[in-house]
Structure 1
Amino acid sequence: MSVGEGTATPRPTWRQDIQGLRGIAVLLVVLYHAGVPGFSGGYIGVDVFFVLSGYLITGLLVREVNETGRVDLWRFYARRARRLLPAAAALIVGVALFAAVFYAPVEQALIARTALATAAYASNLLFVSDATDYLAAGAETNPLLHTWSLAVEEQFYIAWPLLVGVLLAGWAAFRKAGAAPRHRQRLVWGAALVSLLSFGFMLALMGSRYAHWAFFFSPARAWEFGLGALAVLAPQAASGARGDATDNGEPARGLAGLRFEGGSDPVSPLAHALGWAGLIAVLASGVAFTTTTPFPGWAALLPTVGTALALRGGTAATRTALARTLAWRPLQELGRLSYSWYLWHWPVLVFAAGLYGELPLATRVALALGSLLLAEVSYRFIENPVRHNRWFAASSRRGLGLLAGVTVLSLVIGGGWYVAARGLAESPRHRALTNVLKDVPDLYERECQRSTVSDTLGEDCTDVFASGENLASGADSTPTVQAPETGREVVLLGDSHAAQWAPALQAIAKQRGWTLSYHTKSGCAPLGVSYVDPRLDRIYTECETWTGLVMDSIRAARPDLVVLAISHQTPISPEAWREGMDQTLVALAEASGDVVVFRDTPWAPTDTPVCLSRQEHYAAFGRTPDPSSCDFAADHDSGERVYAILKASARARGASVLDLTDLVCPGGTCTARRGEMVTFRDPHHITATYAEALAEPLARELDRVVPSRAASPEAEG
């Protein structure tokens, strides 16, 4: 039987259960972003939205073919434009205005770049390209990060109507006249095939070095929309209710007019029970999942299938307990504002943290709730007036004109802002601070500092200094001459917090005639333990592979000295730290002469060069720059526990530990500038220039814990 065959079209009814699901989804996302304890998996709210979109849009398209015999693509796109784009454009304008006043030019340029991608409906592709760029700004500080999911939905809206039309009615669905045939079974099988292929593609990505693509890439997320489509296409068990739907041109977020067929028919006891199970699955995912849960992956089935079951369990009416629960007034209000709240809550949280540093929980919750006011303003004065404007609604051409106009306007705003910000960042006032962000060791340019997704050793990453040279003096040091130790082999091992010391060790090696090899990799603690990399959102398999190759290389080379440094913020447990350090130090002791472990450098509460640039930027508004406000105390906080583990492991394994805190931050204060030299290039890496200036005091510290070969009895003999 074709869709709707032999059945009169019933009067649509209101779907409060969907509005309630939308309210739950946005609440989970906001609570997660606000860091509220107990909602560590709230990010699954986005997946709930994806399933809802597939459900609503498929139902809308099926109903349109059922009633008119065709799919009016231009009308469909015009409705999407009226609903989504005005609020998104307002977001871009609001973010641009705020950042232009309070953020440094280099920060503005990065945000403007995202605004451009958002205006082009491609911010998800921008974020996936930045996911493994270690020098890219942290995504969590980008006030437009959340637009990646909007881009995925917008890309879905472009492709899905074509697929549904072709599968349901063939190309006849897009003709202006004549009734197209309707083949429901073909659409069901087609949607199922697309979903299975997408799901398989996502799993393949999750098992590869490109797992970050599984999170951001639309084809890897299409199965979630397809699951929603199957939920609306599947027959309603034992009730005769149908799931064809129209949403009056609304997207999955923030619908105000949801109307479905079959609203008065009863729900079977089985469907009702499964609906409750689905809702519980969604809530359990939001509570039980964490940032270490490999996601999307198999885990994504729990909230997405749960959403589909909840939708099926609520397709009848408001008489069921599930429907009454989802119809709870607060959930209905959150559902009404869900699109607006989703848009505005994230930039509010990010801007507040960017200006004032880490915020207490109560403040974050207050800000999240306060962003509801912005959501209400956006909904009442931007979204609704445009969506319900009769002039736009009367003609698809006008709606498409709105689409083109808003898109061009957003692109012009984003592009103009980007050009202006880049120009300001390169102005005499800011150029030096902008360049500090690139003041990195030459290991990066030489590709010896391995990227996140690399699992191989760097080539030509050994510098041989056959004869000693005078050590270049630093800003606060006096040149000295050390007897050459020609032929001494030294290895620098660790993550980027090891790589930051390369300029200092290179200067020492030049003076003493060392052979210096580099084994460093972004975010990789060479401890031989498995852990999830937060940038990749999965087990860091490349780190495990790379670590094994490095240890083999060190065993073969048998160096005289290994210098090991690792970020104390590596996301592993204290037990894993102990196990990994013991294992690594035992292996290094067997393969090398001496081992020195560096304590991690202090972490700044803000990005130091950006903080300094902001001070210069504020001068344009009449405020006197205060560089000292960018200084910070050398307080390691969580680093204390890791440092204790390092010392205990080193003591047991015959290694030495160097605490370089006083070297980097004399007197317990980390100054942003020492003379004209900027000390940190971001919150947790010292600049290459500063590292080289610390070469001489570092050499003295090394001589203190590991006497130089030239001064040892063996060297004299």
Structure 2
Amino acid sequence: MPRHFCAYIAGIDGLRAIAVLAVIVFHLGYLNVLPGGFVGVDMFFVISGYVISQSLSERSSDGLGACLADFYRRRCVRILPALLCVLLVSFVLSALFMPQFWLSNHFNRTGLAAFVGLSNVVLAQHTQTYFSPGSDLNPFLHTWSLGVEEQFYLVFPGLFWLWLRYRSRVWLARALLPVLASASLLICAIQSTGAPLSAFYLLPGRFWELAAGAMLFQAMGTRRGVMTSGALPQAALIAGAVLLLGSFWLARPGPFPFPWALVTVAGTLLMLAGIILPAPETTSPLQRALCSPALTYLGRLSYSLYLWHWPVRVFFQWTTGLQLLWVQCLYPLLVFALAAASYHWIERPVRANPSAWLRTPRRTVALSGAAVGLCALMAVAITRTPEFFSLSQTRDSYTWHAYRHWPREPVPKIEDPRLENRQLFVLGDSHAAAYRTLFKWISLQLGIEVIEYERGGCGVLTLIASDTARCAERREADFKDIAARARPGDIVFLPSLRMPELDGLDWARGEEAVVNELLAGIEREQQAAQASALVTLSRLYALDVQVLVEAPKPLFKAAPSRCSDWFNQMNPVCAPGLTVFRHTLQRLRAPQLALLTRLQQQHPALAVWDPFPVLCPTDVCSAYDRNNGKPLFFDSNHLSGHGNRVLAPSFSAALQALWGITPLE
């Protein structure tokens, strides 16, 4: 392979700069100018496929073992130093500024998996997509693309070495990569609608994008820089730029990657060809722009820019918010400064002047493994002791978190033969999990066993819509387990989110308009909600158990856990406040209460426990206890540990009544 074929190509760095800038602008949502800017990641995949092929071609004369060993040595030196730094800093900042909440475990798992290139697998197993509202609070979300690339690196080098060695003699060596890329594209097309999380996050649905860049390298061979006419390369550049601009403006999250990634991949391939093919003396204005010092410098920074831009965005979102003008001005400066520092002080020194330990593959891999292991252990230690680092009031987990706390206060024990061997089954969504403190208290007071079945987003008998179809399999398994374990007279408690969430809505339109819109939505779903509820109740009453339904609790327009500290109280998400008029919430829950009444007409034994009067005893409902200033709620709709303890006597009385006991006995 001629030496000039492996020389530095400035225009590729210019293309990298465009890709990373598109991603950053999309994630910040500046005036929504690039609603499809997330396709910048697809550009990176194509560019990586080409550049990795170029890198492997430099060792075409080596045997497979030597080729792979050198490749992985260079990948470790290239990827790990900056990545480990960003991951550790992100874990520390998470502990400092982020409250531990119901998604924290998922965030931590994502970050820990990123150390070994598997964060995309963790994300694919979650219920939220890349574009879901909760995902933009995960400081490790962006590492999914690194996971895809790192998994590609496990498969591709061997395939490419076979092509280098045998392409002229064995047709299979030439056909292998195109066949695999075609299969991947087919998988992508099928999964984009049938399994969108797998299509987006996992290698089988993304392999074709990286392979496209590699196949461009294979197709061009040694013809780089030999086209003396600038007309064809210039046409390719312009056509590619048009396709990329179209995808930046028109691509939408669903379904994705197919078909919109096809446009991005085609545009990137055309621009790569337009950059690579012309001889040095036949440059066009667009090519000169791509090779400009400013753009190529940003391209060299692109890896560090990508690594830093997302966690910085997330931590601003958790603290000050992103809407403030001074934050929007500071953000790009801070990201650029961190990326430049990372590039000049971490990336370049390690790559340009590696120590003796990084000059041989065996030593490099051993040292890299040790560094990854040490950093991962440090991250685990941070996740297990967040209260040691936290600057937030929420570090007081006994007050804020609905964990299975052992009560610090004395629990008045109730001994009654009617409680002997009783069981309380709890079936619901994250609101069931938000009662864990209460369930611990109840089990100690009444001496009963509490058996919990909880899954976020999988409400049961929600009263505002039919129960979610995607949770049907899990719900059926829970019903069968209850049927196998329940004894006559046991209680099945059904807590769930039973009012539309109020946070994140456009309250600037006026409370009346927003509430009317929410009520209209509830009304549209009432018939389906009733039908679903009747099916659930029929299933449960067939088991000879008692059913207790939680009436809708108060909800709030902002989250106390995000709005109670000096570093987040100015966040615009806190502007709606932590109080709501009682009559507003009564209007929002009136249709659900009416539905409960209709359900009781068909199932007279149905019991209802209403926590609303306890949590909101005055005309203004507050997320904080007016008696002592402690939070009743952790976020806008989930109870705090203190809120659990406030409700415990009321809930205990409801259970005792169902078992024929009165508090006076």
Q: Indicate the TM-score class for this superposition, using the shorter chain for normalisation.
A: 0.5 to 0.7
Cα offset, 1:385, TM superposition:
2.5
Q: What SS does the corresponding residue of 1:72 show, helix, strand or coil? A: helix
Identity %: 26
**Whole-angstrom CA distance in 1 between matches of 2:584 and 2:35:** 24
Of the three residues 5, 17, 22, the one matched with 1:28 is 22
Indicate how the Cα distance of structure 1 residues 326 and 141 shifts in structure 2: closer, same or farther if over 3 A, else same. same
Residue number in structure 1 paired with 2:67 = 72
- 1:671 partner SS: coil
Residue by residue, what CA displacement relative to the aligned partner does 1:459-515 show, whole Å, maximum 9, x if unpaired? xxxxxxxxxxxxxxxx9xx99xxxx9xxxxx9999743477579989999xx9xxxx
The corresponding residue for 2:430 is: 496
Partner residue of 2:150 out of 138, 141, 154: 154
SS at match of 1:349: helix
Q: Would the aligned equivalents of 1:30 and 1:345 in 2 still touch at CA under 8 Å?
A: yes
RMSD of aligned residue pairs (Cα, Å): 6.1
**Which of 297, 302, 306 is 1:338 aligned to?**
302
Aligned partner of 1:123 in structure 2 is: 119
1:605-616 matches, within 5 Å, as 605=559, 607=561
The offset of 1:651, in angstroms, is 7.7
* Counterpart for residue 647 of structure 2: 694
Residue ranges of structure 2 left out of the alignment (5+ in a row):
419-423, 480-490, 506-516, 539-547, 568-573, 600-607, 661-665
Q: Which stretch shows the higher mean deviation, 309-318 or 499-508?
A: 499-508
| Gap change, CA 1:10 and 1:145, over 3 Å in 2 | closer
**Structure 1 contact 672–679 (Cα < 8 Å) conserved:** yes
The aligned residue for residue 484 of structure 2 is: none
Residue 700 to residue 145, structure 1, CA distance change in 2 (3 Å): same
The 1:399/1:680 distance shift into structure 2, 3 A limit, reads farther
Looking at structure 2, the residues matched to 20 and 410 of structure 1 have their Cα atoms a distance apart, in angstroms, of: 31
What residue is the counterpart of 2:371 in the other structure?
Answer: 409
2-structure distance, mates of 1:387, 1:502: 51
Tell me the equivalent position of 1:229: 214
SS in 1 for 2:141: coil
Cα 1:685–1:183 shift into 2, 3 Å: farther
Distance (Å, rounded) in 1 between the aligned partners of 2:126 and 2:461: 26
Q: Which residue of the partner structure matches residue 302 of structure 1?
A: 263
**Partner of residue 346 from structure 2, selected from 375, 379, 382:** 382
Segment of structure 1 superposing worse, 144-153 or 690-699: 690-699
Correspondence 1:75-474 to 2 at 5 A: 75-95=70-90, 98=93, 116-129=112-125, 140-169=136-165, 182=168, 186-203=172-189, 205-206=191-192, 211-234=196-219, 242-243=220-221, 261-262=225-226, 264=228, 266=230, 268=232, 273=235, 275-291=237-253, 293-317=254-278, 319-320=283-284, 322-324=286-288, 326-327=290-291, 330-356=294-320, 359-360=323-324, 363-364=327-328, 366-389=330-353, 397-398=359-360, 401-419=363-381, 422=384, 433-434=396-397, 439=402
Name the residue aligned to 2:638.
685
Number of aligned positions between the proteins: 595
Q: 1:523 aligns with which of 454, 457, 468?
A: 457
Q: What is the CA–CA distance in structure 1 between the aligned matches of 2:451 and 2:104, rounded to whole Å?
A: 38
Question: 2:511 maps to which residue?
Answer: none
Distance in structure 2 (CA, Å) of the matches to 1:201 and 1:700: 55
1:584 is the counterpart of 2:570: no
Report the Cα offset of residue 64 of structure 1: 4.1
Per the TM alignment, residue 330 of structure 1 is displaced from its structure 2 partner at its CA by 4.6
Q: Deviations over 1:267-296 (max 9, x none)?
A: 53xx755654443333333333455x2333
- Deviation, 1:153, is 1.8
Other-structure match for 1:601: 555
Letter in 2 for 1:304: V
Q: Map 1:636-715; keep pairs closer than 5 Å.
A: 663-664=614-615, 667-671=620-624, 679-680=632-633, 684-687=637-640, 690-691=643-644, 693-694=646-647
CA contact (8 A) 2:558 2:576 kept: yes
Shift of the alpha carbon at 1:167?
Answer: 3.7
SS state of the match for residue 598, structure 1? coil
Show the 5 A alignment for 1:49-60. Answer: 49-60=44-55
Find the aligned partners of 2:325 and 2:251 in 1 and give their Cα distance. Answer: 20
Give, in whole Å, the separation in 2 of the partners of 1:498 and 1:109. Answer: 17
CA spacing shift, 1:328–1:334, aligned 2, 3 Å: same
Q: 1:296 to 1:437 in 2, by over 3 A?
A: farther
> How high is the TM-score relative to the length of structure 1?
0.63
User: 1:31: how far off?
Assistant: 1.9
Moved more, 273-282 or 666-675: 666-675
Letter in 2 for 1:380: H
Deviation at 1:569, TM superposition (A): 4.1
1:394-445: CA deviation from partner (whole Å, max 9, x where unpaired): 9974465344324422421331352365357599x99995577873699xxx
Tell me, yes or no, if the aligned pair for 1:243 and 1:261 is still in contact at 8 Å.
no
CA shift for structure 1 position 338: 0.8
Closer, same or farther: CA 313–399 of 1 in aligned 2, 3 Å: same
Distance 1:214 1:56 in 2: 24
Contact persistence 2:399–2:642 (CA under 8 A): no
Residues of 2 paired with 1:502 and 1:104: CA distance? 18
Confirm or deny: 8 A CA contact 2:462 2:496 kept in the other structure.
no
Contact 1:496/1:523 (8 A) holds in 2 = yes
* Structure 1: 5+ residue stretches without partners: 171-180, 235-241, 246-259, 443-474, 485-489, 532-539, 552-558, 616-629, 702-707, 711-717
SS at structure 2 position matched to 1:522: coil
Matches within 5 A, 1:547-566: 565-566=497-498
Contact 1:81 1:400 in 2 (8 A): no
- Does the 8 A contact of 1:504 with 1:694 survive in 2? yes
Distance 2:499 2:320 in 1: 24
Contact 1:105–1:421 under 8 Å retained in 2: no
Change (3 A) 1:57 1:183: farther
- Structure 2 counterpart of 1:542: 470
**3-state SS of 2:248 partner:** helix
- Distance in 2 separating the partners of 1:112 and 1:520: 20
Deviation at 1:611, TM superposition (A): 7.4
Q: Work out the CA distance in 1 between the residues paired with 2:286 and 2:234.
A: 7
Secondary structure at 1:61 match in 2: helix
CA drift at 1:641: 10
Change (3 A) 1:579 1:562: farther
Q: Contact 1:141–1:354 (CA<8 Å) still a contact in 2? A: yes
Residue pair 2:501, 2:637 contacting (<8 A) in 1 also: no
- Kindly indicate whether the alpha-carbon contact (under 8 Å) linking 2:550 and 2:610 is maintained by their aligned counterparts in 1: no
Q: Contact 1:526/1:584 (CA < 8 Å) preserved in 2?
A: no
Could you tell me how far 1:163 is from its partner in structure 2? 1.5
1:29 & 1:320 partners in 2: Cα distance? Answer: 26
8 A contact 2:237–2:270 mirrored in 1: yes
User: Using the alignment, how far apart are the partners of 1:323 and 1:493 within structure 2?
Assistant: 61
Asked if the contact 2:19/2:43 (under 8 Å) is kept, the reply is yes
